[in-house]
A = this chain, B = another copy of it.
């Protein structure tokens, strides 16, 4: 992603926007809340206000650059770079690990179901909540506990 991409979207290439984009691209976590983005930038010495983080992420969402998720139980929303193709999510409720997947059979059935009811499908989200086999040894577990 480069400054030209922002320009193309009609957004000025500002420092906060570039830094947020950069973070989303380089961060290990593919899904981050506004607060997490804010803190990560803060830790990196970037003084970018939380309000700006929200504004920029919302603009990116509108521009189709990021996807915003409202995972169940969570009042907070998380953002993900929209660089990859559509996918759904499989989440471990114990360690917070998130697996992305895509299944043609499910996608196809959804279309059929919508049609059967006379609806034209615009969007959908499928979240599978599960337990991974070995969450205690999972790389995410410790970090997850901290956030609880």
Contact = CB atoms under 8 A, between A and B. Distances in A.
A131 B101 CA distance: 25
A104 B111 CA distance: 15
A contact residues, range: 35 or more
A82 interface: no
A25 to B, nearest CB: 24
A125 to B, nearest CB: 6
Contacts of A128: 110, 113-114, 119, 121, 123-124
A127 B125 contact: yes
B125 A72 contact: yes
Number of copies: 2
A125 B126 CA distance: 6
A120 interface: yes
Given A109-B109, A119-B128, 7 more contacts: A72-B125, A99-B117, A105-B109, A120-B133, A121-B128, A122-B130, A126-B127
The 7 closest A-B pairs by CB, nearest first: A119-B130, A123-B129, A124-B128, A126-B126, A121-B130, A118-B133, A122-B129
Interface of A: 70, 72-75, 90, 92-93, 99, 101, 103, 105-106, 109-110, 113-114, 117-134
